């Protein structure tokens, strides 16, 4: 289901803390904000595909939802399956072990950026559309086409010619071909142009697809971002303003991550 390189990257355990410490908290807070405004009220059955260690499954279960995590990494399944109110199984986003229309909502918060072929991404979208009930919602995360370029500027990675070459390829066709040389450069992936995920959702038969920015440009503020995240007032002001501009087309490409929200047509 995953290449050895990608599997080894996740088996290092980085997903345990990535969204709960440092700048990663902004991705979590913004994703959670979108989810709370998008998902049906509890109790609902939510299928969390690529749910990793349960960073979203835990608060969803605490909110009263029934959550099932499907993930290709066995270690992730063990961790998330131990959470109260969460069940978990090893599985592939392209072939979900779930019945038609069995979920009120489906989350694809990880799979799409590890499916380099468009045909595979469409298969994942179609599987999500199959298992969600008519009228149900699918929420999918992607990494922005421009994230590695902006990250390289922010963190000084462009001093390495290998990074320059990698970003040049990504800007050309979205392929982030890393091969695991430097862990902080992520792992091999596909980075979407902001126009792509909604088009993929529509081709898979989902409707009313809309894409919003997760972090917006705020993730590029470096150490200043941590000051905002650590201050209750400043954090609230920042999140409020990011919410107000989350759908602004001119800012989508500046975000590190994007969320696309779409629906299965009602019967």
Mean pLDDT by 10 residues, the chain (267 residues): 84 81 94 98 98 96 98 95 97 97 97 95 98 98 97 94 94 85 82 98 98 97 95 98 98 98 95
pLDDT number for residue 143: 97
List residues bridging with 179 in a β-sheet.
none
C-alpha 219/C-alpha 163 separation (Å) is 20
C-alpha 46/C-alpha 57 separation (Å) is 9
Q: Are 220 and 254 in contact (CB under 8 A)?
A: yes
Instruction: Name residue, tokens 């979900």.
Output: 96
- Report, in angstroms and rounded to the nearest whole number, the Rg of the chain calculated over CA atoms: 18
pLDDT number for residue 153: 95
**Structure tokens, 127:** 């599987």
* Residues whose CB is less than 8 angstroms from the CB of residue 70 and which lie 6 or more positions away in sequence, other chains included: 47, 48, 49, 50, 51, 88, 89, 90, 91, 93, 96, 97, 98
SS3 148: helix
pLDDT number for residue 181: 64
Q: Which of 137, 136, 164 is nearest to 151 (CA)?
A: 164
- Threshold 0.75, pTM exceeds: yes
Cβ neighbours, 10 Å, residue 116:
16
**Structure tokens, 206:** 């989902």
pLDDT number for residue 179: 64
SS3 31: helix
Q: What's 185's DSSP letter?
A: G
**Structure tokens, 256:** 């590190």
* Strand residues in the chain grouped as ranges (E): 45-49, 66-71, 86-90, 103-108, 132-143, 175-176, 189-190, 207-213, 257-263
C-alpha 214/C-alpha 109 separation (Å) is 12
List residues bridging with 141 in a β-sheet.
259
pLDDT number for residue 4: 85
Strands 66-71 and 86-90, by their bridges, are parallel
Q: How many residues does the chain have?
A: 267
pLDDT number for residue 180: 57
């Amino acid at each position: 289901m995953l290449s050895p390189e990608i599997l080894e990257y996740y088996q290092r355990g980085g997903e345990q803390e990535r969204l709960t410490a440092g700048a990663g908290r902004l991705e979590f807070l913004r994703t959670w904000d979108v989810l709370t405004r998008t998902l049906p009220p509890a109790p609902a059955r939510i299928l969390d595909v690529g749910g990793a260690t349960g960073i979203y499954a835990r608060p969803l279960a605490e909110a009263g939802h029934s959550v099932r995590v499907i993930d290709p990494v066995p270690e992730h399944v063990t961790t998330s399956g131990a959470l109260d109110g969460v069940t978990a199984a090893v599985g592939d986003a392209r072939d979900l072990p779930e019945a038609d229309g069995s979920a009120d909502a489906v989350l694809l918060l990880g799979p799409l950026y590890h499916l380099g072929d468009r045909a595979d991404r469409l298969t994942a979208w179609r599987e999500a559309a199959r298992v969600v009930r008519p009228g149900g919602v699918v929420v999918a995360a992607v990494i922005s086409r421009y994230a590695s370029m902006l990250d390289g500027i922010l963190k000084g990675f462009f001093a390495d010619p290998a990074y320059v070459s990698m970003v040049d390829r990504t800007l050309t066709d979205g392929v982030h071909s890393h091969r695991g040389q430097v862990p902080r450069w992520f792992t091999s992936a596909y980075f979407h142009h902001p126009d792509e995920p909604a088009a993929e959702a529509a081709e898979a038969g989902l409707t009313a697809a809309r894409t919003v920015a997760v972090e917006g440009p705020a993730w590029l503020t470096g150490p200043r971002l941590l000051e905002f995240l650590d201050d209750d007032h400043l954090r609230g002001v920042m999140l409020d303003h990011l919410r107000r501009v989350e759908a602004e087309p001119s800012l989508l490409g500046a975000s590190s991550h994007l969320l696309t929200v779409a629906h299965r047509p009602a019967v």
